[in-house]
Amino acid sequence: MIKVLKPLASLKLTLVGMILLAIGAALSYDNPEHMPVWVLVVPMTWLAVNLLAAIITNARINRRGGLLTFHLALLGLVVLAALGRLTFFEANIELLQDQAFSADDLFDVRSGPWHPGNLEEIRFIQGPYTVDYHPGIVRGATRSQVRISDERGSWETRVVGDDTPLLVEGYRLYTSFNKGFAAILTWLPEQGEPQTGAVHMPSYPLFEFKQDNSWTPPGGPEIKFWLRLETGLQQDAAWVLDAGKSHGVLVVNTGDQRVELQPGEMVPLTGGALRYERVTSWMGYKIFYDPTLHWLFFTSVIGVLGLSVHFWRKFGARLPVASTAGLRPDGPNPYAQARKGA
């Protein structure tokens, strides 16, 4: 068996695997949607087989405990990284205040072929949020409140941020820079039932100068909206974006008609009437799933410990030891005499 495995432990195969991994990493940079995970998984599998063969056939590795531990941990890291690519999940979502999470609202979805898919188990409702800004509109801490249901059916409030994720069923949800406001509108057609929905405005304050969007009612002309916001924004001073304390006037443009609406006001249009209910906020989240993260950390620690033990045994045994030859317990102490002479 050793003869069969020895060719697989060749350093030339290691070099080929590293080159393939580098190419795969370059191709999959920033997780392009069209790039399959196999450009990384195949080189990792190649390197795992190569490393396993080296561990089995190389006596300098498998007969030294510390070095063996390090190489086994390295093998574990390669295998775990490959499994992580096969099971990972990434996506984005924008949630209005008081809106419940739904997997149907996800966009920019990327996932591995072995992802288990437990998104239906995620249940929470978006609440209000605040964002700290430093002078120059430099974003600081984000505090987004969400209400999550526990096993008893009661609701618990949690705070999510850029580095404080909401952990649900193995998924990690982080707030992102993508957030803003929306106008809640009710369309009252001349015939039929009223319809209420939200028109999202671009991210704020990134596009503070362009808070506009459009919507076309059934059978009617396109309606253009501009939301004139009052948020307390300051360019050269620290301020807090508090969505709950923000207000907005909705400017409605259709054809030659231009109307400014306060919350609760209505404007008649072709085919019906439009009522501006209120302004609300939306928060963008990044969703991430990788079940191998904790195992990667513990395996890395084991590898470092194994390598430390190996080097301690290798170099610690060579440290010079002071010779005590010729010294008698009851004899004179030459070091003491030297101190007296000094």
- State whether 170 and 209 are in the same domain: no
Task: Quickly state the pLDDT bin for 321 (edges 50, 70, 90).
Answer: low
Is residue 330, in this structure, part of any structural domain at all? no
pLDDT band at residue 278 using 50, 70 and 90 as cut-offs: very high
pLDDT of res. 183? 96
| Interacting residues of 153 by C-beta distance below 8 A, sequence separation 6+ | none
Are 144 and 190 in the same domain?
Answer: no
Q: Could you tell me if 146 and 223 lie in one domain?
A: no
With beta carbons less than 8 A apart as the criterion, state whether 287 and 92 touch.
Answer: yes
Domain's final residue, options 225, 257, 281: 281
Say if residue 211's pLDDT is above 80.
yes
pTM: 0.81
Q: Convert the pLDDT of each residue in 216-268 to its tens digit.
A: 988 778 999 999 999 999 889 999 999 888 999 999 998 888 999 999 999 99
Let me know whether 56 and 96 are in one domain. Answer: no
Residue 324 falls within a domain, yes or no? no
In angstroms, the Cα distances linking 316 to 59, 75, 305, 308 are 22, 27, 15, 11
Distance from C-alpha of 109 to C-alpha of 251, rounded to nearest angstrom: 34
Residue 153 lies in a domain: yes
Residue 108 lies in a domain: yes
pLDDT digits (tens, 9 = 90+) for 95-115: 999 999 999 999 999 999 999
Which of 159, 178, 197 is the endpoint of a domain? 178
The total number of structural domains that make up the chain: 3
- Same domain? 187 vs 117: no
In this prediction, residue 264 carries a pLDDT of 94
Kindly state whether residues 191 and 276 are assigned to the same domain. Answer: yes
Report the alpha-carbon distance of residue 331 to residue 247 in Å, rounded: 93
Q: Is the same domain home to 230 and 276?
A: yes
Answer yes or no: is 342 within a domain.
no
Judge if 63 and 120 occupy the same domain.
no
Does one domain contain both 36 and 72? Answer: yes
> Does residue 332 belong to any structural domain of this protein?
no
pLDDT tens digits along 137-180: 999 999 999 999 877 778 899 999 999 999 998 999 999 999 99
| CA atoms of 119 and 105, how far apart (whole Å) | 11
Q: Once rounded to an integer, what is the mean pLDDT over residues 305-318?
A: 83
Same domain assignment for residues 158 and 193: no
Name the helix (H) or strand (E) containing 43.
helix 38-57
Q: Write down the pLDDT at residue 270.
A: 86
> Do 103 and 72 lie in a common domain?
no
Note whether 190 and 198 are within 8 A (CB).
no
pLDDT (average), residues 188-194: 89
Residue 334 lies in a domain: no
pLDDT at residue 342, rounded to an integer: 42
Task: In whole angstroms, give the CA distance from residue 252 to residue 224.
Answer: 6
Q: Does residue 339 form part of some domain? A: no
Closest CA to 183 of 305, 80, 279: 279
Please state, for a pLDDT cut of 70, what percent of the chain lies above it: 92
Q: Are residues 105 and 146 in the same domain?
A: yes
Could you tell me the residue range of the domain that residue 250 belongs to?
181-237+244-281
The helix/strand/coil state of 5 is helix
